[in-house]
Every structure is written in C-alpha cells, then in structure tokens.
Structure 1
Amino acid sequence: MKQHRTPSTPISNKSKAVLTRFVLSAAVTTMLSSSAFAQKLKGNPGTISVTPAEVTYYALERDTLTSIAKQFTDKPSNWEIIGKRNKIGNDRTIPVGSGIVIPAELLAEEPSTAKVFALAGKVIEIKKNGNEIELELGSVVSEGSQIITGKNSFATLALVDDSRVSVPSNSQINLAKLKITKFTKSPRTEIKLVQGKVESKVTPLTQNKGRYEVTSPLAIAGVRGTHFRVGINDNGIGNEVLEGGVAVGKPETPNAMLLPAGKGNVVSATSVGKAIELLPAPSLVAGYQLQERPILQFELNPVGNATAYRAQISTDAQAQNVVSELFSKEARIKFDGLNDGAYFIRVSAVDSNHLEGIPATHAFVLKARPEPPFLLQPKHKVRSESVSFKWTATSTAKFYRLQVANDAQFKNVVLDQDKIADVELNTSQLGLGQYFWRVATIIEKNGQLDQGPFSPIQAFQILAAQSMNPVVDTGENTMNFSWPAEPGQSFLVQIAHDPEFKKIYFSKDLDVANVSIPRPEIGTYYIRVRATDADRFIGNFSPAQKFEIQLRWTTGNGEPLNSVGGTVRPVN
C-alpha cells in the first residue's frame, strides 16, 4: 500500500493540523513482479493492449523508454521505472514491435466527472470559479466543486467506476480530485470532508487499480475496504468501518492500528483513539410495515449504551436515494411530508463517542391517501332505536366506505357499506351492545376507484332508548308523569301542544324520574323526556307520547266528581 500525503491547514493554535485519508491504491510493487521480458512481447507496432493493472505498448521505429514514458506518463523521468519493469537497463531505442509494459500506477491522468445519482431538498454546488448553482438530478459536477447540503437535504454522487458518495444533510465536501488514468480509465478520487459526514461505498479497486481518498481534519487512514463513513463531531474525527478495513494513525505513524469491519474510533488533535465496537443494528417493533397516516411512526427496540438514533428514509435498499433523515434521542421516530409509495427505513444507534453503529434496513409502504374524514357521531353512546353515523366531507371524495364491527380489530364486521355518496348513514340494523366504527375515503384515480386508509376507530355503545311510561288522564287535578331511569341520571321533560314541540306548554330540568303538574286545560298534548347520564352524555329525546285532557264533572270545591267507575264525565 502506497501512502499519499498532502499538506494540511491549521485548525487550532494547540495542535498541528493533519489529514484523515482513506486510500485505496494500486501497489507499485507489482512493477517488478512479472518475469516477462519486454523483448519477448511482440505485437503490431503502435498498438496497445490494456488490462486494469497495466498497458502494453508495441514500439514504433525510433521509440525509446524516455519517449514512451513521456507519451504514457507525462514524465520522461519515469523511463527508469518502466525500464526496471521491463528488465531494460538503459534508455535505448526499442526494437520495432517490442511490447513495453507500463504499470497503471504511472499512467497520466485526465479530468473526470461525477453525476448526481440521487437528490432531495436543496443542494448547492460552488464551482471552482466561484459560481453557485442548485443541483438537480442528473447534474454533472467536476473537480474543484464544493457540494453543500442543508437541513433535510441529501445528495448521492456516482463516479465513473460506479462508486457512490453519499452526502447527508448539513454537510459539505470538496471534490478535490476527480480524474481517471489514460487508457485504463482507473479512477483517481479525493474527497475532502469540510463539515458533517460523508458515506462512501466504493467499487472494489483491485479490479480497476484505482485510488479513492477521503480526507478530513486530524488523522490519516488508509482504507482497505469498500464501505465506510467519516464524520466530524465534537470529539474529533469519527471513523466507522462497515466493510473491509481501515489503517488509522497520525502522519508520523500512519498505520498505528487497523480498524476491521464493525469497528470505529475517534482521532483527536492529540491522539489516535482505540478501536471501539460499533453498536449493533436496532430492530423495529412490529407493525411498521404499513404506514397509513401522513405522519409516519416507527418504534425501535432500545439498544444498550445508545445515546441517540439516526434514521433515514430512502427509495432504495442501499440508502443512496435518501429523501428524509433525522436524529432522535428517543427510541420513537416520526417522519412527515412524504408521498405515498414504497420506501426503506435505515436505522442505526449512536454511542457516547458520537460513533454511528451498524445500520439495519427495513422495507415499508406508505398508503395514507386519500386521507380519511373525521368522525363526528356517534361518540361513546347512543340511546336510540336507530343510529345516525356522520363524518366530515373530504374535498376529493367520490364515495365513502363505512364499517361497523363488534371488535376493535374488525374481525367481526357487522356492517360494511361502500359507495356512500353522502357524509352520513342511518341504520336500525344494530342491536344493543358495544360497537366500533370507521370510515374511509374513496376517490377516482386514473379512471379507477382508489380507497384510502380507514379513519381512527371510534367506539360506541347502543343502549336502550329513552321512553315514557304510559300517560293516563285519571281526571284528578294533578297530572303525574314518570319514565325509566338509571342511577345518576338527570332529565329534561317537555310538554307541548304540537308534536314538533314548537309550542312548549311545560319544560323542566329534573334530578328524579317523575314530575307532577296541575291538570292542563282540555285538549291534546305531547310529552317527551331526555336523559343526561352520570358521565355527562346527553341522550336523545324519547318518542313524543300523545295524551288527551278530557272534560269532567267537578264538585263545588273543584274536586273531580267520582263514582264507582271512576271520574264522572259528561256524556257526548
């Protein structure tokens, strides 16, 4: 492994600034490993053959090692290294057609680019010339550009070898180097982390003999794996290895320790922290797979020693197309603002060193639209022979679907009616007992009916309807009325001249289930009663009961004239 170092910028008065480097490179030591002699390789003069590790050039007339070094490496002085690789001891003319092997490590470089593979929110690119633009999906970025993500903004860049660089929210990177080698097209990439975090998933460089570096303040590390994270936190530079290995150290001791997969450490201005086991991946409490509300909710099984949790929502299982992200100190996570669709949630635990642990990815579906209406009635209780279900209107609804069940899980549905065009439904099909009800909105989408999720469930009881005991005109001067009652109830009793109770004759609030009033004038009357339960539930009025006050004979003192058969009444 060849170590590469670049000058660093001071970051404090107390410590010497150095660089964290994650390096994957082709080893120059392979230059001397071949036993093939250049003069034994023959080919068509002026042509080349290419492998990931090297280029073989078949010499033209008057070609020398110096001219070949200049042509392929841009440095004539590299003739000596090329000579050793090909077992040629001096810079002499090469026989026409002789094959000269040039190691990929020496090849000249040419500019490359990266493409915005995934993007969410507002992501800014500051170009090398200082121009600032807002990136879009598919935008091409070049060497020297700075990529800045704001709150809840994300970007994933795709390199020429299909490596991925993910920049989460509140982060900034500098594309310090974006090049490829001539002929072999091997990538030469250097990412400078300025703020926040960067996650890299690198195509194995053993295949293309490329080099990939991430530099950040305070440490130097040589990457021997393909999936790792680097982040700036309050303690220094956090290194987290998910696949492969990372050799971490200071510039003077670049290989102080090897971090294997599943390990991390923190490098400060003064020391290289010890290897720490990354926290295990959190698991989710069951029930997350289908999200039916615009506000998504996930509950985690707590991870020991975790101080926080990081969660990302993406449209792919690799979490490269991230659409939302948050940190939570609680094991309960909420997201908002997502469209219906299939997603993945990636969660990881964060320890006291600010190191993020092993991630776990779970698939789920969001189906929250069309949103259900709000339920209006019934609530809690119904004291009526029929039940009136009412809900609010939704602007996009074509129909509604109502379900009533005996259980909160809706395993025993007793009423299921769809294509309800109105916002209410009346039924007398339900008997006394406990019930649960819910309503869903149905819209027309792409020429087909599309039902959204059901509303939150509302429970209610159907209790015996309020009634009046039969009213009989006994002819007495006082009329007595009574009705069935339950403990703790209070009542409103009304008597009217008409069945619509527009002409009220008598109205009174009572704490007892009976009332006496002076005998009304002769005529037709209607009486009803309404109960208020001990829990303040106000029921419906009982059906109006009609009664007649008839003519009677009275004595001189106004008492009714009675006989053996009862009150004496005039004969019609």
Structure 2
Amino acid sequence: MQRAIRQGQWYFKLAIFSLLLFTSIASAQEWVYTVVPGDNLWNFCEKYLHKVSYWKKVQQINNIKRPKRMQPGTQVRVPMEWIKHNAVHAEVLTTRGKTTLIKADGARVEAPAPGTRIALGDQLETGPESNVTVRFADKSLITLHADSTILFDHLSAYGETGMVDSRLHLLKGRGDTRITPASGPGSRFEIRTPSAISAVRGTEYRLSSSEQSNASTFEVLKGKVAVSGEQKTQLLPARFGTRVEVGKPPLPPRELLPPPTLDTLPEKIQQLNWPVTWQSLKGAERYRAEISQHADFLSPLWQQQISTARVPLPDLPDGDYFFRVRGIDEIDLEGINQTIRLTLDARPQPPVPLSPNNAGVFRGNLPNLSWSASADASAYRLQIAQDAEFNQLLIDQNNLSETGFATTALKQAGKYYWRLYSISESGEQGPVSDVRQWEVKLIPDKPEASIAATESGITTSWRAGIAGQTYQIQLATDTEFKELLNNESLKEPNWQLQPVTGQVRYFRVRYIEPDGYEGPWGATQRIDPTPDNSWIYTILTGVLGILLI
C-alpha cells in the first residue's frame, strides 16, 4: 500500500514537473508565423493573440515597418505566452463492439456514435473484441483496442495556430497512435501509463499497459518517441521499442522483430476458416494477427494472438480485406507488421457431399447422391462428369431444391465424378464443393464349367476371366454345398480331382474380382462316382478257389 502511495506521489510530482517544465519552455519559446496576402498587424493580433493591443510589441520585436500591409512570406515571431489558449475537444471517429464513454460528471454514454465529443476529464472504455478510434483537434489519432481504458487528462489548443496540447492516461490495454507533426513549440502529445510517460511531436507508435505484469511497452513505427520512467528517459527511433516496469527505468531500446514472410494465398479464398500461414520468425514467442476493411486499420474487425505461424481466418462476409501479422518477442514487444490484401468469396457456402462414400464401387445397383443442406442456399447446382477436370460433363443441373439425386441413368461401367454449388436467393453461385467419385462395374458372368475324365483323374475347366480375376471352386456332397469337401481359390481356370466310388459329388465355380467382389456361382455340376467292380473280383476269386480244390 505504501509503495502504491509513493508511486502515486511520484507520478503526481512528475506530472506537475512536466507541466511546469513545458509551460516554462513554451513561455521561453516563440511561435513563428508566415505572413499570407491580406494580413495586417491588427487582424493578426485579433486572430491569434490574447489582446489586440499586443500589436505594438509584435511590431517592435519584428521591426515591422508597414503594419497595415505586411509583406507576404515574411515571418513574425511571437512569444508563446501571448498566444490565445483555449480548451478543445476530441471526438469518436470509429467504434466497434462494446464501447463506453464516461463523462467527467459521471454520465455514461454506451456505444458512442462517430462524432461524439470527448472533453477534458472524460474516460473511454472498450470491452472484449471491441475498439474505438479517437481524433484530436490537430487530426492526431489513437485507436484503443479491446479491454482498454484511457483518461483524457488535458485537451487544449493555442487558438487557431494549429498547436494542440493533448495529454492522456492509458490505465490499461493497448493503443495505436498516429500523431500529426508539431506545428510549433506549443504542440504536444503525451500518454502516461502506470509505469511511464511517452512524449512525441509527430510519429506513429504503439503502446500497452498490462495490469498482470505491471509493465508498459512502447513500439515506434515512424519518427521518434521519448519514454520516461524513474527519472530516466530513453529516446526510441523508428523500429525500436522498450519495456518499462513499475518502479524501474525503461529498458535500453531494442530493435523490433522484422515482418514475417507470409505464404502465398489464393487469388480468391473460397473456403471458410481458410488458414493463413507464414514462415516462423526467429525470436517470436507469439504472433498477433488482425483483419480490417481498410488499409489504415483504424477499426480492425478481428484480432487474435496465436503461438504458431498459422491462423484460420474468421467467418466474415465476402469482400476485400486487409490482413496483417507481426511477431511478439519474449518481453512482449510487438514487431513490424506484414500486411497483405485478400479477397473472401466463400458464400453461399457449398453443401458437403455425404454419400456415397468417396471412390465407392457399385455393381448391379446404382448410387443415390446426397449432400448436406447449406444455410446460405436456396437451390443447388449438381455436375457429374467422366473426368476429374469436369471437361466431359454428363449432367449439369441447376436449381435442384432437394439434397439428393438418383443416378439411375448412369449405368455404363466406368468412373464418375460429382461436385456441387450453392445458389443464393439472389441467384449468386458460391464456391464449389469437394469433388467426390464413384465407379460402376459390371457383375461378373457365371462361369460354365465342363468336366472331363482323363488318365490322371477328372479335370474341370471354364473360360478364363479378365486380368486380375481369380476363381473360387467348391466341392461338396450336397447340392446346397453345406458339406464341403473342398473350398479353394485358384489362379488358373481349371482344377483336377480324383475319382471316387460310392459317392456323388457336386462342383461349382465363380469369378472373384481384383477388389474382392464375388461374382455369382456358375451352374452346379454333378460328378458321379466311378463304377464299383469289386464283385467281379470276388466271384473270380471264388471260382479260382473251387478249381484249385
């Protein structure tokens, strides 16, 4: 608690010191004005100075000999303390998501519209996945990103000189700034965080303040920024940054990580959640990716931190966008952006082919195609072709209202390829679905086996099948082939078996396709037993015995 009080006292003293120092410097400095046609000393003093009566002093300081008609192009020097000083306002330029403006009197303005005025003492807050861009009197800009809070400590200008004094307090979160170059010694743009103060006079830089780490980061993209903390200041040039922890001085300037190298994207991205990839960046612990409709990224539509060099795009409407990504090093400094333009053309989303399974084979029956219903579609377009490139179209049917199609007309053996499109209510055709394939094959013929007796036994044979076909033979004692004697797979279209006596046997054969499909069995062949002549030998043996007696 005591430490927090001491820190608060230090920041108060630093702010008072900075204000007094700035006032002292501004008082000691002079504003230089370039005379334009029509100027005279009195209208000049009336427009820019506190009092018209200063004209005598201005004449004396600048040795003006013709106060009624000053020479165009000449320069007039005026002490800063003589110039008009007045309060000005900032205004909301763009806003997205949940944004709240808390007025100095406590009134809350939810979702302030573009053009809403911001005055001294107001506070601006953003919620998750939100951002707001504020424009100041000198056209300087700050974009406040998600989960951020900023307080407008000071908003003033030196009359119509163009010199504006803006001082802010970033309590937490992140901001991107684009600061208009100073137009005189009274120009000032300063942002304070719980751990540091950044002062600039024309530049572009990012800053953040983290409650978790009690630290702030500053990354300069253009120009220079002076960052002060614990009575020490670091001057950051372009492409350098620093980190400042509470109670510690800024770290020495560190060079920001270079822009990542993005991998090539399609000319049109026609798939939702398409992954954008890039080459891993040495020294990057994480990456920040952002998407905007405009190249200035004043109001990003989406941002995400990721740990890998890959991020799927969000679900956005079709159109042109800008994508950028940068690396984040181990002390949370964010590097230089790599930005590309991309085109999304993913709607209406194509349906997903469901059946048949890809590369399915059909014999005897033909498939019914089916696909998922697309929420974006009012109808579907189906194409079926004989080639994967769809140069040989067989069917090209528009305005299908159902999510299925019977292929009864496609009976010829061969491969078929199919794909789908969704068609919106306005008639727009979306991107193509994945290509699926099926194949129609003929059912193998029934082999007709012949049986012949030879000296070596009984030979069965049949017509040879096509290349790759094999043959299954079965031999049984019954016509239903439940009592099998043989069940074999053969590569040759013939088979030999030995003759037997006293038993009728049955034989059949069928073709087996190279993919394992089993064709129909051929006709069942009956194989009768060989004659049993053993009784003749019995009689002859008996007769021979009688004769021998």
Structure 1 length normalisation: TM-score?
A: 0.67
Q: Partner letter of residue 171 of structure 1?
A: S
Instruction: Tell me which protein shows more strand as a share of its residues.
Output: 1
Q: Which of residues 306, 322, 325 is equivalent to 1:347? A: 325
Once the two structures are TM-superposed, the CA of residue 302 in structure 1 deviates from its matched residue by 0.9
Q: CA deviation at 1:340?
A: 2.0
Is 2:341 aligned against 1:391? no
Asked if 1 retains the 8 angstrom alpha-carbon contact of 2:289 and 2:305, the reply is yes
Of the three residues 119, 126, 133, the one matched with 2:109 is: 133
How far has the Cα of 1:344 moved from its partner?
0.8
What's the CA shift for 1:281?
A: 0.8
Aligned residue number for residue 434 of structure 2: 456
What per-residue deviation string (whole Å, max 9, x for no partner) do you get for residues 26-56 of structure 1? 96665287999xxxx99485x3479xxx936
Aligned to 1:180: 157
What is the letter of the counterpart of residue 360 of structure 1?
Q
Q: In the alignment, what sits opposite 1:55?
A: 48
Counterpart in the other structure of 1:568: none
Amino acid at match of 2:334: E
User: What is the CA-CA distance between 1:308 and the residue it aligns to?
Assistant: 0.3
1:298 aligns with 2:276: yes
Relative to structure 1, the CA distance from residue 146 to residue 364 in structure 2 (aligned partners, 3 Å threshold; closer, same or farther) is same
1:366 partnered with 2:344 = yes
- Residue in structure 2 matched with residue 328 of structure 1 by the alignment: 306
Instruction: Structure 2 unaligned segments of length 5 or more: list them.
Output: 71-75, 452-460, 473-479, 491-504, 529-549
> In the aligned structure 1, how far is the partner of 2:255 from the partner of 2:171?
26
Q: Report percent identity of matched pairs.
A: 23
| CA–CA separation in structure 2 for the residues paired with 1:200 and 1:109 | 24
Task: Report the Cα distance in structure 2 between the residues aligned to 1:16 and 1:212, rounded to whole angstroms.
Answer: 23
Retained in 1: the 8 A contact 2:450–2:462? no
What SS does the corresponding residue of 2:30 show, helix, strand or coil?
helix
Whether the aligned pair in 2 keeps the contact of 1:235 and 1:266 (CA below 8 Å) is no
Aligned position for 1:382: 361
CA contact (8 A) 1:10 1:17 kept: no
Whole-angstrom distance in 2 between the partners of 1:463 and 1:401: 19
Cα 1:102–1:413 shift into 2, 3 Å: farther
In the aligned structure 1, how far is the partner of 2:33 from the partner of 2:7? Answer: 49
Residues 416-435 of structure 1 correspond to what in structure 2 (within 5 A)? 417-421=396-400, 422=402, 423-424=404-405, 426=407, 428=410, 432=414
User: Any idea what SS the aligned residue of 1:322 has?
Assistant: coil
Are 1:236 and 2:229 counterparts? no
1:122 aligns with 2:102: no
Bigger-Rg structure (1/2):
2
Please tell me whether the aligned partners of residues 31 and 78 of structure 2 are also in contact (alpha carbons under 8 angstroms): no
Residue 262 of structure 1 corresponds to: 239
Deviations 1:105-157 (A, max 9, x none): 74221231312x22222122222222233214425141222222222111122
Q: Which residue of 2 aligns with 1:156?
A: 133
- Does the CA contact (< 8 Å) of 1:146 and 1:175 recur in 2? yes
**Partners in 1 of 2:215 and 2:193 — Cα distance?**
10
d(CA) in 2 for partners of 1:149, 1:482: 82
* 171, 194, 198: which one aligns with 1:194: 171
Which protein has greater RCO, CA pairs closer than 8 Å, 6+ apart? 1
Q: CA RMSD in A?
A: 5.1
| Residues 173-572 of structure 1: pairs in structure 2 closer than 5 A | 173-184=150-161, 186-206=163-183, 210-233=187-210, 234=213, 236-250=215-229, 252-253=231-232, 256-268=233-245, 269-287=247-265, 289-376=267-354, 377-384=356-363, 388-394=368-374, 396-402=377-383, 404=385, 406=387, 410=389, 417-421=396-400, 422=402, 423-424=404-405, 426=407, 428=410, 432=414, 437-445=418-426, 449-458=427-436, 460=437, 462=439, 464-469=441-446
Q: Which moved more, 1:360-369 or 1:413-422?
A: 413-422
Please list the CA deviations of residues 65-105 of structure 1 after superposition, one character each: whole Å capped at 9, or x if unmatched. Answer: 5xx9xxxxxxxxxxxxx95x65469xxxxx99799975567
One-letter amino acid matched to 1:138: P
- Number of aligned residues: 470
Say whether 1:142 aligns with 2:122.
no
Q: Distance in 1 between matches of 2:97 and 2:33?
A: 52
Q: Which runs of 5+ in 1 are unaligned?
A: 1-8, 69-81, 90-94, 475-479, 492-504, 520-527, 555-572
Partner secondary structure for residue 222 of structure 1: strand
* Deviation of 1:192 (Å): 1.1
Q: Is the 8 A contact 1:341 1:365 kept in 2?
A: yes
Q: Secondary structure of 1:333's match?
A: strand
Deviations 1:346-368 (A, max 9, x none): 21100011000011211111222
TM-score when normalising by structure 2: 0.69
Q: Which amino acid aligns with 1:392?
A: S
CA shift in 2, pair 1:184/1:453, >3 Å: same
